[in-house]
Structure formats: C-alpha cells, structure tokens
Structure 1
Amino acid sequence: MEDKTSFKSNINWFPGHMTKAMREMEKNLKLVDMVIELRDCRIPLASANPMLDKLLHQKPRLIVLTKKDKGQMEYISQWIEYLSNDITKVIAIDSLSENVADKIVQASLNVMKEKINRWIRKGMKPRAIRCMVVGIPNVGKSTLINKLAKKKITAVSDRPGVTRSLQWVKLNKDIELLDTPGVLWPKFEDLNVGYYLALVGSINDQVLPLMDVCLFALDILLKEYPERLIKRYNIDLSGDLTAIFERIGRSKNWLTANNQVDVQRTMMMFLNDIRDDKLGPITWEKINGNRESI
C-alpha cells in the first residue's frame, strides 16, 4: 500500500510513561544477565522495538514469538531460523494453552549456558539467572508472566500499555524475571510498521486512520488469502479495495438506517474479525517481504 507520509507528523504513540519506562529499562539492564524479548509471531519485525538493540549491545537474548496459535507455523518456523544467531535464541509459544514454564526455563538456560559454564570454571556457585522481560504493548507479556508465576502478578488486558511499572518475579530457583511495561518507540520511518501494529491491536485505534488500516489489511488478504475473504463474507472480489470493503459491509448487514454501508461499524467489525481470527491464523510479515531485519 502506498506510504502516506502526510500522516507521520500527526502520530503520537509515545506517552510520558513510556519515556520513563525506557529510562528505567536502560538503568536496570546492568542488573540482569539476559533479556527475554517478546514479539508477536504474526509481525516478528514490526513488533520488535528498534531501540532495544542499542540498549542491549551484546547481552544474551531469548526472543519469544507469542500467540503462535494466531500465526501460521510454516512461517513461524522460518522466522525462528531467521532471527536466531550466536547470542540470540528464538522460540514460539501459546501462553494460553501451553505449559510454557519449562519451555522458557530451558530456553533461558540454553541462552546462558556459556556464562553458567564460566561461573563453574571460576569456582562460583551458579545462582538464579536474572532475566529482563521486554516487549511492545499487547504482545502478551502480562499473560506470560502470570502463567509462569502460576498466579496473577500483572494486570492482563487487550488494551495496549496496561503494565506500567518495573517488578521482579521469582519464577523458581533457576530464573528470576524483571517485568517491564510495554514500550513503543517515539516514531517510525515505515508507515507499514504502524499498520501492522494497528492490525494486531498493539497501538490504539486512534493513532492511524482506521480506513487506511483496513485497506492495508484488505490488500494483503486479497493478494495472499482471497479464498478466506470469500469464505468469510461470500463476496465478489473484483474492483478496487473500496468497492470490496463496501461489499464486506453489505454482506454482514453492517448498514445505516437508510441502507448505506455503516463505514465506522464495518471498519471495527472487519478489524475485530482479523484480531479474533475469524479469517483464520495469519502471519502478516513474511521472510521474503520488503522490510529488512531489525
């Protein structure tokens, strides 16, 4: 979809609490051995905070691709291989249905294996690994922390930016977690990043024009998953995106009193269909996409 640069100057998605959280995160990095970075498996690049690399330097990292039930495993597997390197391991989880504790612990121990061996060679008794948990809003951090701790430690919501303070969570004798608020970055150079984040609900729906977000999604669906649009809405896919969007509204009877398509309702219902997987699991970003790795 065409980059609408005129919107860039109007986007404000970095409220005061995020500025404070970034400062706190940078200050507390020296307290931890490694970082567990959560990304949304549907948008593994767009859900990566580009400021994080500058803060982490060479600190070991475990990238956890969350919500794998909402993505496509063939593409998730490709992302796991693509994002892995000598100091970064990558796993995919579904916090709601999986027993993720063992998976996170084992992956963290694997990331820290070399450092633990150095401790042992120096005659030091290995202590609990201290991990900072980071991620953008609504990526599933609070759900994961609560699942790992087996009790409610942090507030869980579908609204972006619920967790707003740093807090330590002792997982077991091997792992201690420092939870952090979901943090975005002050601006983005690629407007498509904003569209991807809006699609999965990681930024408020007021940040970008919803019609642009809907047409961005519809363009991808038309090119890559046309059969899903037909199955869900039973519509003809000829014509331009606006015409197809109007057919979606009529197919579901999302109409005004005078029998016109209710644009606001159709936008919200269409986005809800995407977020609630009514169109099936979708990995929006592909390895062979136009964006480079962050």
Structure 2
Amino acid sequence: MTIQWFPGHMLETQNLLKKAISKVDAVLEILDARLPDASANPFVNKICKGKFRLKVLNKDDLADPEQTKLWLDYFEAKEKTPAISICGTHKFQAYEALNYCVNRIDRNRARKIKVMVLGIPNTGKSTILNSLAGKKIAKIGNVPAITRHQQRTSLKNNIDIYDTPGILWPVIEPEQKAYILAASGAISDTAIDYNSIAFFAANLLIKRYPELLMQRYPFLETLPKNELILIEKIGSARGCLKKGGIINLQKSSETLIRELRAGKIGKISFETPKDLEYDNNTKKN
C-alpha cells in the first residue's frame, strides 16, 4: 500500500520552514513514541543541519516502555542524536524536554532563545505547547493537520517557542511505514482503507502482544489464528453486524483501530529498533 496524502498547506509549510529555520536556536523534533522511525520526516534532517536538535518521543504513556528504552538507546548510539521520552500532557515532562534543549544553547542572556517545534501530524506538538504555556493556546485534536500556520508563544525565562503545522512527505514508502502511520492516526482517515489497516494492526497484535489482546477482549477463548478471525470476533462481540447476522468488517475494523489508537488495548509500539536494522540490512543485500 502506497499512501499519498500531501495537502497543499504541507507544501507551503515546507517552504515556510526552510526560511524560518535559520532564525531559531534549536529544534524540538516531536516523534510518536509508538513509531519513532516512521514518524520521523526525512525533510527535517535536511533543514536542521547545523542546529541543535532534540528528538522528543511523545505519547510514551501509550508505547511499550521496553521498546521506548531501546529507541532512546538507538538514537544516542546509532544516530548520535539526543533523545528523550515524555507524555506531552504533563507540564513537568514538557519542560524537561524544553530545558534539555535550552541548556545546550550558547547565548547572550539578554536576548530571547528561539525554539522551533517540528514533526508530522498528530504527534502532539500543540499539546506540548499548551503544557508549556500552562493554558490552551494551540488547537489540538485526534485528527491530523489541526495546526495550519506557524504560531509563536513567549514563555518565561526569555524563551520564544514556535509551533508549526505537521508535515508529511509526498509519497510514503515503504509499505510497512505507510501502514504504521495510518494505524497510528498520523494520516487522515479519508486517505486509508480501514480494512487493510485493521488487518495490519491485527497481525501485529497477534504476533507481538497476544497477552494484551486476550486481556482486552476476554471473549476470545483462544488466541485467533489469523487477522480475519480476530476482526470477526471483535465485530460479533461489539455488535458490528449487517442484516442476517453477517459481520460488518468495516465497522469491526474501525472499532479495532479506534481502541488501538486510544491505548485501550494496552501500551503498544508499532515498530522496534530491530525492525529498522532488519530493513536496513535487507536494503544492503
């Protein structure tokens, strides 16, 4: 599955960021802790050269803590890039990320520090900004592309922070990355096929998180042998039926994806550093 979802404002944002990046002192790159690699836009690497950048793995309250720890180690060791994991709704944790960044900037105390927040849609950039400001100053929501324009906010200690629209890249490849982004909610639901995404998510849950799956859905007497069986059983238990008692796979798929995104199934990571190393080795061969 190749997903192409690149609204016009994203191209505008790319051009805006190219001009604005030279005026800031540092960058907070906000990633989704459940998918740290898939949620990293390659465009950010191009424009951040020469700038201090901190990778912030947000939503760590939804991610597998063991995998999050491995990702932090991976970024430090393999990419030589500092990284921290937080839950953006917690003010203390949001400031921990900001202060980590600010403390590594050489500056004249008389002038303001300018920090830019970058990331793809739905990683929680605006949520972090609201936590830092202590009030709602940026729109937030559970759908991608809420923020459409750059927003500047003045914080205490002479700091200006810039919230920017989430940007994806024009063609999302490989296929695995497209599925991960779609399952997490980073891509508009209008651009995806729920059935395909649900089958991908069901396969991941069966293989990597069988215990969480059985705990969330106690009506499962045994672990389903395949994705279709799991989705059908969820549909039957949740009343996702058509006339004649036929399972409505579309509604069943939507139910699974909604619960997965909301963290109701448990703390889950969509990808691991081992997955990335495997993909890299496959490309070399």
Q: Normalising by structure 1, what TM-score?
A: 0.87
State the 1:88 CA deviation: 3.1
State, as a whole percentage, how many aligned pairs show the same letter: 34
Structure 2 residue corresponding to 1:23, chosen from 5, 15, 21? 15
Structure 2 residue corresponding to 1:170, chosen from 154, 174, 191? 154
Further displaced range: 95-104 or 245-254: 95-104
State the 1:213 CA deviation: 0.7
**Gap runs ≥5 in structure 2:** none
State the 1:196 CA deviation: 0.9
State the 1:198 CA deviation: 1.2
User: Counterparts of 2:94 and 2:176 in 1: how far apart (Å)?
Assistant: 34
Aligned to 1:13: 5
Deviations 1:64-84 (A, max 9, x none): 111111012221111112113
**1:216-231 correspondence to structure 2 within 5 Å:** 216-231=200-215
**Gap runs ≥5 in structure 1:** 1-6
Q: Does 1:109 align with 2:86?
A: no
User: Counterparts of 1:135 and 1:271 in 2: how far apart (Å)?
Assistant: 22
Deviations 1:205-242 (A, max 9, x none): 12222111111111111111112222222324344322
C-alpha distance 239-182 of structure 1, shift in aligned 2 (>3 A): same
Q: Normalising by structure 2, what TM-score?
A: 0.90
**1:163-242 correspondence to structure 2 within 5 Å:** 163-233=147-217, 234-235=219-220, 236-242=222-228
CA contact (8 A) 2:55 2:81 kept: yes
Could you say what secondary structure the match of 2:247 adopts? coil
Further displaced range: 93-102 or 201-210: 93-102
CA contact (8 A) 1:155 1:162 kept: yes
Q: Does 1:70 align with 2:56?
A: no
State the 1:161 CA deviation: 0.2
CA-based RMSD: 2.0
C-alpha distance 101-212 of structure 1, shift in aligned 2 (>3 A): closer
Aligned to 2:93: 100
Deviations 1:95-115 (A, max 9, x none): 224523430232112432xxx
C-alpha distance 261-83 of structure 1, shift in aligned 2 (>3 A): same
Could you say what secondary structure the match of 1:231 adopts? helix
CA contact (8 A) 2:231 2:256 kept: no
Further displaced range: 138-147 or 98-107: 98-107
CA contact (8 A) 1:165 1:181 kept: yes
Structure 2 residue corresponding to 1:57, chosen from 23, 33, 49? 49
Q: Does 1:35 align with 2:27?
A: yes
C-alpha distance 12-251 of structure 1, shift in aligned 2 (>3 A): same
Aligned to 2:262: 276
User: Counterparts of 1:231 and 1:125 in 2: how far apart (Å)?
Assistant: 53
* Paired letter, 2:197: V
CA contact (8 A) 2:54 2:81 kept: yes
Further displaced range: 198-207 or 19-28: 198-207
Aligned to 2:81: 88
CA contact (8 A) 2:58 2:124 kept: yes
State the 1:125 CA deviation: 4.7
Could you say what secondary structure the match of 2:21 adopts? helix
User: Counterparts of 2:193 and 2:104 in 1: how far apart (Å)?
Assistant: 41
CA contact (8 A) 1:61 1:87 kept: no
Could you say what secondary structure the match of 1:75 adopts? helix
User: Counterparts of 1:59 and 1:94 in 2: how far apart (Å)?
Assistant: 24
User: Counterparts of 1:244 and 1:125 in 2: how far apart (Å)?
Assistant: 58
